[in-house]
Structure formats: C-alpha cells, structure tokens
Structure 1
Amino acid sequence: MRHTYAVLQLANGTDIYTVSKMLGKAKQTVYTLSRLGEIPSCRQGRKAYFYEDELLAWINNGKIKTAQEIKKNAERAIYWGTRHGRQHNTLS
C-alpha cells in the first residue's frame, strides 16, 4: 500500500523539506514517523501538517539531561520524600 501526502507550506516556513533538515531524516522517514505518531504533527486525511514550535519542543524534550539537572531533580525528590516535604504537599 503506497501512501501519498500533500505538503503544506506554513507561514513560518515549516514544510517537509525544513522538517527533514531539522531532524536529519529523509522525507519519507518523516512521513513514516508522522504516521506512526512518533513526531508531533497534525494529520487530516492524507495531509500532514508540521508546526515548527511543536517540533522544536519535541526535540528539546528528548535532550539528555546535564549533571546539574539530574542533581537538582534528585535533590527535589529527596526533599519531597521527607516528612517536611510531605507536610507541604498535603491539603489542610
């Protein structure tokens, strides 16, 4: 079964060529990832719509955390695991 897609040129210039360059993937791979729901896109029928801000947020969410970010998250988890942290988290 062959899938055909219409390319939408958005006002911010995010077309399939821009998306494929942003992700470093071939156009067909981008369409496949969109069809599988692995990258943010909006689909209506056979048309795939890509929004640059959603793609950039998706890329940013997949970034590897720095040592400082990991330490901060661990400290927060330890704090909320203490009695003092739990007291602030309960409703009175």
Structure 2
Amino acid sequence: MEGVTIIETAVIKELINKIEGLETAIKQATKDAKVKDPTMTLREVAAYLKKSYGWVVINKHNIGCSNIGGDWLTKQSIVEEYFNKNFHKN
C-alpha cells in the first residue's frame, strides 16, 4: 500500500508555472526550427514574383541564382532582397 503525499499549494503552483514556461519554450523552439531559408527553383521564383518563367530565366543572374546539378536554384531570401532592392515607391 502506498502512502499519501501532501504537497503545498505554493509548490504545485510553482511546478505548474515551470511546466507552462517549458511548454512556451518548446513551442518557440519548434517555431524557430521551422523558420529557414528555403531553396527555390526558377518556376517557384516566377510564381513568387508573379512573373513569367521566361522573364525569370532571362533575369536569373540579376536575381541571383546558381546552377547546381543542372538545376538553377536560389534562396527565398535572395529573391526577397532582389524584390526589395528593385521596389520603387512613388
């Protein structure tokens, strides 16, 4: 037969706060782990910029692409940088 353990309310509340804090930290770590700089194909760049595939092929060197294993690839951050650099407000 097991005995009964009495825990003070303050101790339980402290444990609950630590568990909730751990839950928040885990959620943030998971969110941070998902944030990365995805690689994009030229077709994905065209869709992202709402331009034709042909336009992207012609401008791939201006945007910043690399030929890797026969495929032209870039990173989303490079495409965003290109967009922001060439965005004009009037």
The alignment's TM-score, normalised by the length of structure 2, stands at 0.46
Q: Quick check: which one's helix share is greater? A: 2
The alignment's TM-score, normalised by the length of structure 1, stands at 0.45
